[in-house]
Amino acid sequence: MKDRQRSKSDFTRVNHKIRVAKVRCVGADGQMVGVIPTRDAMKEAMRAGLDLVEVSPNADPPVCRIMDFGKYRYEESVKRRQQRKSQQRRAVKEIKFHANVAEHDYQTKLAHIRDFLAKGHKVKVSLTFRGRENAHRELGFEVVKRVIGECEDLSVVDMSPRLMGRSVVCLLGTKSGKS
């Protein structure tokens, strides 16, 4: 079975599914009709060619509104879609270096880091030591510190460079516009 998000309208009672004696009814024009029997509210909705929708089931008596339920569900789905679109998804991008990185490779990777930071992503800078490079870990720390220095106009250091196993890892975040 396909999982899907349940929307607010999936739990809404409509027309004959409303099982209370009296409801507080709001008309199609938005005017309060008052507390009336559910049957009368249903008749009013039928006369208007619309649905009786339970808006607030926990109220005493429950609040129902006369409206086009299909249009209501469509508008709710449009709102949810718009909210998802306006959310910004920030990812953590990782750029890997080695202690003896060539200058051109370094500049290329630095350009990628600056591009990611400009787009608002966080960047994980990792430098892995291979073989005999482990004997000269200070060279790796120098490369990472150089990256941090050349990106300090765009970034802040969220996690300072630290040794984790055979790698030096550092996390750069974007500068906020407030500073």
Q: Tell me what pLDDT residue 10 has.
A: 52
pLDDT of residue 70: 87
82 shares its domain with 107: no
> Would residue 156 count as lying in a domain?
yes
Residues 6+ apart with CB under 8 A from 127: 96, 97, 98, 99, 140, 143, 144, 167, 168, 169
User: In whole angstroms, what is the distance from residue 143 CA to residue 11 CA?
Assistant: 57
**Are 166 and 129 contacting, i.e. CB atoms less than 8 angstroms apart?**
yes
Per-residue pLDDT, 19:
84
Specify the pTM.
Answer: 0.53
In angstroms, the CA 48 to CA 1 distance is 38
Residues 101-160: pLDDT tens digits?
A: 999 999 999 999 999 999 889 999 999 999 888 888 999 999 999 999 999 998 999 999
Give the domain CATH number at 138: 3.30.110.10
Cα dihedral angle (108, 109, 114, 115), rounded to 10 degrees? 80
Please report the pLDDT score of residue 6 as a whole number. Answer: 47
Q: Which domain holds residue 150?
A: 92-174
Asked if residue 141 is part of any domain, the answer here is yes
Which stretch of DSSP H or E encloses residue 79?
A: helix 69-86
Question: Going edge to edge, which strands form the sheet with 92-98?
Answer: 92-98, 122-128, 167-174, 155-164
Q: Are residues 122 and 148 in the same domain?
A: yes
CA distances from 4 to 1, 50, 113 (A): 9, 28, 36
pLDDT digits (tens, 9 = 90+) for 82-107: 888 877 777 899 999 999 999 999 99
83-to-3, 17, 54, 120 alpha-carbon distances in Å:
20, 30, 24, 19
